[in-house]
Amino acid sequence: MLAALYGRVRELFAGPAPAPVPNEAALTALWLDGRADLADFDDCPREHRRTPHCGRLPSLLLLRARDTRTGLMIETHEPFGAEYVRPTQAPCPTCPCCSARLCETGRTSVMQCLGHVAVSVYADVAGCPCSAETTRGTHAWRAAQIQAVKHATESPMPIGAETILRVLAGGHAFEDPAGHLTWLHARRYATTDRESWRITMLGRRYLSALDEPRYTSAVYVKSVDLETRTATVVVIGWHMDIDVTTLADPISNSVGLPLDSLPGRYLDARVNLGAADPDDLVLTRIQLPAQITADYVSVRPIGVAR
Ligand SMILES: [Zn+2]
Ligand SMILES: [Zn+2]
Ligand SMILES: [Zn+2]
């Protein structure tokens, strides 16, 4: 009786439920099945960490991972020994550094592949071309385009730096007494091999953003992929029938609404409507359209004096 009571009291004060029973077989099976990768070790609810990690318990290593399909956390005794060894995964067909699954994640993440691995393998995936800012169509690329266009249209750099960039674009000789190149390099608008300087694609995007006309257009949000944080929109002033892929977060941040409330909304944005490719459309100054009030008229009534 006393023992039962003691047990009950202990239950009440035990705090959070204990971790699931260590299950080596489950984790190993997941790896073999290709459902767990470095990219999948995230959101440990206990330690609030987003990286793969092991906890040292007395005399054993405990490894925590999340099953990407079920979302369930799995804990297991470290099955690989003290050193974490990357499990065999299908390699990415286009880069030498990552698994196919990692690049799939990195491509649609502004953090690139680098943002989804443990610190110990940073160096291996740091230059991954599949998710790089310089690779057209990646989330990092889209974010950089927005950044360059906002920079050019909202707070352009001093004319001296712009002149140097234009001279670089033209491939002419120049001098840089004011040291603008260092700054252009930091902005990733210019690059050097120590012998000569070149303008980057991002630098060219900055210049084209200065020159291209931008218009206000209505934008209809068709859908938002909550996992990759990508929005599919229709830029009404550009083309009614062509979907445009864009990052969802800049929209959400601009209008102050959560991602899941964006689909079905009409918004206003400044857009380079002259672009031929939907990927080259860059939306800035995104806002909710002005409220239609009682004094709104879309057509001037007959008889009203000019
Ligand atoms: Zn790759
Ligand atoms: Zn790679
Ligand atoms: Zn990669």
CATH of the domain at 240: 2.40.50
107 domain-assigned: yes
126 and 147: one domain?
no
pLDDT beyond 90 at 169: yes
Q: Decide: helix, strand or coil at residue 284.
A: strand
pLDDT recorded at residue 288: 94
- Within-domain flag for 4: no
**Ligand approaching nearest to the C-alpha of 131:** 3
Same domain, 222 and 276: yes
In a domain, 294, yes or no: no
- Please state the pTM of the whole predicted model: 0.69
Residue 175 belongs to what domain range?
140-211
| Percentage, residues of the chain above pLDDT 90 | 52
The reply to whether 66 falls in a domain is: yes
Report which listed range, 34-38, 97-101, 210-214, is most confident. Answer: 210-214
From residue 65, give the alpha-carbon distance in Å to each of 108, 152, 172, 178.
Answer: 22, 43, 54, 52
Ligand 3 center to residue 30 CA distance, Å?
A: 21
> Is there a domain that residue 151 lies in?
yes
98 CA → ligand 1 middle, Å: 5
Both 234 and 280 in a single domain? yes
Phi, psi of 270 (to 5 degrees): -90, 130
Ranked by mean pLDDT, which of 70-79, 176-185, 271-280, 287-296 comes out on top? 271-280
Stretch among 8-12, 238-242, 282-286 having the lowest mean pLDDT: 8-12
pLDDT at residue 55 tops 60: no
Among 195, 211, 227, identify where a domain stops.
211
Q: Report the candidate in 154, 152, 178 with the shortest Cα–Cα distance to residue 164.
A: 178
pLDDT digits (tens, 9 = 90+) for 77-132: 554 433 333 445 778 899 988 888 889 999 999 989 888 887 777 788 888 999 99
Measured in Å, residue 59 CA sits from the centre of ligand 1 at 38
Q: How far is the CA of 129 from the centre of ligand 2 (A)?
A: 6
Using the mean position of ligand 1's atoms as its centre, give its distance from the Cα of residue 112 in Å.
11
pLDDT of residue 209: 97
| Neighbouring C-beta atoms of residue 283, cutoff 10 Å | 25
Query: How far does residue 211's CA lie from ligand 2's centre (Å)?
Result: 35
Any domain includes 259: yes
Of 89, 105, 121, which residue sits at a domain end?
A: 89
Distance 246 CA to ligand 1 centre (A): 21
| Residue 14 counted as domain residue | no
Mean model confidence pLDDT for the chain: 78
Q: Within a domain: residue 11? A: no
Query: In one letter, which amino acid is 19?
Result: A
Point out the domain boundary residue: 193, 211, 229. Answer: 211
Give the pLDDT confidence score for residue 265 in this predicted structure: 95
